[in-house]
Structure 1
Amino acid sequence: MSDTDSFIEEVTEEVRRDRLFAMMKKYGWIAVLAVVLIVGGAAYNEWRKAQTAAAAQQLGDEIVAALEAEDANARSAALQGIQADDPAAQAVLAMLSSSELAEAGDGAGALALLDGVASNGDVPQIYRQVASFKSLLIEGDALSVADRRTRLEGIAQTVPALRLAAQEQLALLDIDAGQTDAAIERLQRILADAEVTQDLRRRASQLIVALGGQVQPAQQSGN
């Protein structure tokens, strides 16, 4: 390489450095801001997660404390006194409180809470569906058998999470109507379902035996 070429290369490299420094001086703040935003955003996300976890833990502690009250009315009052900003948490509190009111014999109060959850568009759909189902169970004999059967069949067909619970209630209606064979058949289908829970399996098995039916070993074990 000639001295001229070497000189030209040195000058070119110097110009590049000058341009780079000039650009960094002019636009470097953008890179700094980007770094700040990235680090700040990550820190905020972690803070928000921590706040959410702390709020959930506090809510759980308050619920446990409320459920330790001596009688159902006191437990319901304590549950209703818990403050929650999230609609889903409010729905859970209302449903827990409704259960306590129902236990205390206040069916009207329990239904009012459940109907409030069921009609609240801000609450996730599954909570509204569970509230409607619980409301149906509490109303019980206040509804005609035909009405209860229609509503339970609708739940069994349209709400996957409550499908088997609704089928269990339909089996109980079959028993009340003296339709023993229909009840056993329905209960056998519950036992054969892959999604049946252990508690429901036990109840269905006990009902089948009480009605004079036979439970297969595979159905008892769930295999």
Structure 2
Amino acid sequence: MSETDSFIEEVTEEVRRDRLFKLMRKYGWIGVLAVFLIVGGAAWNEWQKASARAEAEAFGDAILTALSADDPAGRTAALAAVPTPAEGQAALLSFLAAEESLAAGDTGAAETALAGVAADATAPELYRQMAQLKLLILKGPSMSADERDQGLAALAAPGAPFRPLALEQQALALAGAGKAEEARALYAQIMQEAGVPAGLRQRAAQMIVVLGGDPAGQ
């Protein structure tokens, strides 16, 4: 390489460095800002996770404290005082309050608590359907047959989370109405359903025997 070529190359490289330096001075802040946003976003995400975890732990501790009261009435009152910062927590407290009301023999208060969950559009659908099922079980004897059957049919729809339990309630209603054959058929269907708990399968088999059938022959 000649001295002229070497000189031209050095000048070209210097010009490139000068341009790069000017670009860094002009736009370098964008890179700094990007790094700041990435680091800041990660820190904010970790803070949110830590806050959510702390809230969940505080909520759980408050429930345990409330349930440590000596009597159902005291536990119900303590549960009502537990703050519910997250969605769905109020529904959980209502379920617990309903159980305490039942333990105290106050069926009316339990029904009121469950009805509140069932009608709460902000509550998770799982909680709402659970409340509807428990409410139908509690109020079943006092409801009209059509109203009870409509409610159970909705909860027994394919894919519904509490379908097996709703089917069991339908079968019990049929057995109570003297429709033994229809009840046996429904209990047999419960035994064939996928994902049915072992305890429910056993109850269904026992009811088929009580109703004059043979589980093995279904």
**Under a length normalisation based on structure 1, what TM-score does the superposition of the two structures give?**
0.87
**Counterparts of 2:127 and 2:115 in 1: how far apart (Å)?**
11
CA RMSD of aligned residues (A): 2.2
Matched, 1:143 2:143: yes
What does residue 128 of structure 2 align with? 128
> 2:49 matched to which residue of 1?
49
Report the Cα distance in structure 2 between the residues aligned to 1:118 and 1:79, rounded to whole angstroms.
19
Paired position in structure 2 for 1:206:
206
Residue equivalent to 1:153: 153
Cα distance change of structure 1 residues 175 and 117 upon mapping to structure 2, 3 Å threshold:
same
- Stretches of structure 1 that go unaligned for 5 or more consecutive residues are none
Residue identity (%): 47
- The amino acid that maps onto 1:10 is E
Match of 2:5? 5
Q: Is the 8 A contact 1:102 1:138 kept in 2?
A: no
CA distance in 2, matches of 1:37, 1:86: 28
Aligned to 2:103: 103
2:69 aligned partner: 69
Report the CA distance between 1:196 and its aligned residue.
0.6
Aligned AA (1:41): G
Query: 2: CA distance between counterparts of 1:207 and 1:57?
Result: 43
Residue type at the aligned position of 2:140: G
The alpha-carbon deviation at position 159 of structure 1 amounts to 6.1
> Counterparts in 2 of 1:7-46, with a 5 A limit?
7-46=7-46
Tell me how far apart the structure 1 counterparts of residues 147 and 116 of structure 2 sit (CA, whole Å).
21
Question: What amino acid is aligned across from residue 198 of structure 1 in structure 2?
Answer: A
Q: Which residue of 2 aligns with 1:80?
A: 80
Match of 1:187 in 2: 187
User: Given the superposition, is the C-alpha separation of residues 66 and 206 from structure 1 closer, same or farther in structure 2, using an over 3 Å criterion?
Assistant: farther
- 1:98 and 1:109 in contact (8 A); partners too: yes
Instruction: State the distance in 2 between where 1:38 and 1:168 align.
Output: 54
> Residues of 1 paired with 2:210 and 2:59: CA distance?
42
Q: Identify which range, 106-115 or 91-100, moves more after superposition.
A: 106-115
User: Which stretches of structure 1, 4 residues or longer, exceed 4 Å deviation after superposition?
Assistant: none
Q: Matched residue of 1:34: which SS?
A: helix
Counterpart residue number, 2:112? 112
| Count of residues in Structure 1 that have an aligned counterpart in Structure 2 | 218
How far off its partner does 1:88 sit? 0.7
> Who is 2:178 aligned against?
178
Output one character per residue of 1:3-47: Cα deviation in whole Å (capped at 9) or x when no partner. 222211111111111111222122222211111111111121112
1:90 and 2:114 are equivalent in the alignment: no
Q: Which residue of 2 aligns with 1:163?
A: 163
